């Protein structure tokens, strides 16, 4: 900080870097605005560098000292308040070419998800019971003609055309739960439902289990199928196989080669397990899945159905087909 005697004649320019008086030929970038002197007497003038320093005085204190020495001080001229880059960007975003303020369009809330009763249980103790399903296309239940054919094949392969062999069923990508509920209706003792959508579980799957009376025979896992396989022991215990597994994923969201490999290597598949897989056109399904072989592969329009099972079930189906012909 430099202390100089007050000038008595013409206004001077202040060099902000060296704090000494200079002529008007100095660089404009290093000069403060002209100072206007008042007629008030003053014994001394205190000049401050505008550059920041650790021991510098606050802007308000500088203003008070300048006013004390008789200068007409405009705080906006000597101590301008620079706006932050964030506020500048915000102001620029609020303007258009015409200078008019632009407002973001209001975000319309998503319509509530609703259900309807277009599905029903085909056979067994809960036959003809209506089931809920979402009106939107984000959940695609298995068609009734495909579901009916799948259970007819399973019952025939198990040696009991009227009902399923008692056992445990794993319903992957369960959605409405129509496949697992059909299994319970036809004689399965327990079904594990794996569905990742909490709304589908609370507003579709669980009400369907309650209306059919199978809620006590069911276990619901609200988790992605991938996570379910990663934590298999946590969900169903160690080395606990299923008698039946149904796989009805959203076609465009899975790689069937990877999915079937994960299933075949899981502890859920045993030597006598049956696996029902619904898949789309132009998808190559393997002839085997772990210890299981493909016992049927049928097409229903744009939907295909493959069923894997033990070798004894395949031989039984072939022998029945030969006798029938």
Q: Quote the CA–CA distance of 134 and 64 in Å, as a whole number.
A: 73
What pLDDT sits at residue 67?
64
Examine the domain organization and report whether 125 and 62 are in the same domain: no
Which contacts of 76-79 are long-range, i.e. CB under 8 A and separated by 24 or more positions? Answer: 77/33, 78/32, 78/33
Examine the domain organization and report whether 231 and 124 are in the same domain: yes
Q: How many CB atoms lie within 10 A of CB 161?
A: 9
Examine the domain organization and report whether 187 and 242 are in the same domain: yes
**105 Cβ partners below 8 Å, 6+ apart?**
none
- Please name which of 134, 221, 138, 224 lies closest in space to residue 178, comparing C-alpha atoms: 134
Examine the domain organization and report whether 76 and 122 are in the same domain: no
Examine the domain organization and report whether 296 and 149 are in the same domain: yes
Q: Quote the CA–CA distance of 172 and 175 in Å, as a whole number.
A: 9
Is 109 inside any structural domain?
no
Examine the domain organization and report whether 122 and 74 are in the same domain: no
Mean pLDDT of 70-93: 57
Examine the domain organization and report whether 74 and 127 are in the same domain: no
Report whether pLDDT(6) > 60.
no
What pLDDT sits at residue 325?
41
45, 63, 93: which is the final residue of a domain? 93
Examine the domain organization and report whether 180 and 283 are in the same domain: yes
Query: How is residue 251 annotated by DSSP?
Result: G
Structure tokens at 67: 């006013």
pLDDT per position as a tens digit, 197-247: 999 999 999 999 999 999 999 999 999 999 999 998 888 877 689 999 999
pLDDT per position as a tens digit, 159-207: 888 889 889 999 999 999 999 999 999 999 999 999 999 999 999 999 9
Is 147 inside any structural domain?
yes
Report whether pLDDT(136) > 70.
yes
Report whether pLDDT(96) > 60.
no
pLDDT per position as a tens digit, 279-324: 999 999 999 999 999 999 999 999 999 999 999 987 665 544 444 3
Q: Which residue has the tokens 């397990």?
A: 273
Examine the domain organization and report whether 144 and 259 are in the same domain: yes
What pLDDT sits at residue 160?
82
Please give the residue that has the higher pLDDT: either 157 or 63.
157
Using pLDDT thresholds of 50, 70 and 90, give the confidence band for residue 149. Answer: very high
Examine the domain organization and report whether 165 and 39 are in the same domain: no
What is the count of structural domains for the chain?
Answer: 2
Q: What is the average pLDDT value for the chain, to the nearest integer?
A: 77
Query: How is residue 51 annotated by DSSP?
Result: S
Examine the domain organization and report whether 71 and 211 are in the same domain: no
- Give the chain's length: 325
Is 107 inside any structural domain?
no
Mean pLDDT of 48-59: 47
CATH code where residue 123 lies: 3.40.50.150
Q: Are 48 and 57 in contact (CB under 8 A)?
A: yes
- Please name which of 225, 177, 183 lies closest in space to residue 202, comparing C-alpha atoms: 177
Percentage of the residues of the chain whose pLDDT score is greater than 70: 64
Q: Are 191 and 171 in contact (CB under 8 A)?
A: yes
- To the question of pTM greater than 0.75 for the whole model, the response is no
Mean pLDDT of 134-161: 88
Is 251 inside any structural domain?
yes
- Please name which of 121, 238, 90 lies closest in space to residue 186, comparing C-alpha atoms: 121
Q: Quote the CA–CA distance of 6 and 69 in Å, as a whole number.
A: 9
Q: What angle do CA 185, 156, 289 make, to 5 degrees?
A: 95
Give the range of the structural domain holding residue 83, as residue numbers without chain letter: 2-93
Examine the domain organization and report whether 52 and 182 are in the same domain: no
Q: Which run of H or E residues covers position 242?
A: strand 242-247
């Amino acid at each position: 900080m430099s202390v100089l005697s007050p000038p008595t004649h013409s206004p001077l320019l202040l060099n902000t870097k060296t704090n000494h008086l200079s002529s008007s030929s100095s660089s404009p970038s290093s000069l403060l605005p002209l100072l206007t002197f008042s007629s008030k007497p003053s014994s001394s003038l205190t000049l401050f560098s505008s550059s920041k320093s650790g021991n510098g005085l606050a802007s308000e204190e500088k203003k008070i000292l300048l006013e004390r020495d008789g200068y007409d001080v405009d705080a906006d001229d000597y101590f301008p308040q620079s706006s932050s880059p964030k506020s500048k960007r915000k102001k620029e975003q609020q303007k258009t070419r015409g200078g008019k303020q632009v407002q973001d369009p209001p975000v319309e809330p998503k319509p509530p998800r609703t259900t309807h009763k277009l599905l029903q249980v085909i056979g067994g103790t809960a036959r003809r019971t209506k089931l809920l399903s979402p009106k939107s296309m984000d959940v695609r239940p298995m068609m009734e003609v495909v579901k009916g054919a799948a259970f007819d094949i399973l019952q025939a392969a198990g040696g009991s055309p009227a009902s399923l062999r008692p056992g445990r069923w794993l319903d992957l990508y369960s959605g409405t739960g129509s496949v697992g509920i059909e299994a319970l209706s036809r004689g399965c003792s327990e079904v594990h439902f794996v569905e990742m959508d909490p709304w589908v579980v609370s507003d579709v799957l669980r009400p369907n289990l309650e209306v059919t009376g199978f809620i006590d025979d069911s276990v619901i896992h609200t988790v992605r199928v991938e996570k379910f396989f990663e934590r298999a022991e946590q969900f169903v215990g160690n080395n606990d196989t299923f008698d039946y597994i149904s796989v009805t994923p959203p076609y465009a969201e899975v790689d069937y080669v990877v999915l079937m490999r994960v299933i075949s290597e899981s502890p859920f598949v045993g030597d006598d397990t049956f696996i029902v897989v619904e898949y789309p056109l132009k998808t190559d399904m393997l002839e085997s899945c772990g210890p299981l072989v493909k016992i049927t592969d049928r097409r229903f329009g744009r939907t295909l159905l493959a069923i894997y099972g033990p070798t004894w079930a395949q031989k039984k189906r072939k022998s029945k087909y030969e006798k029938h012909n």
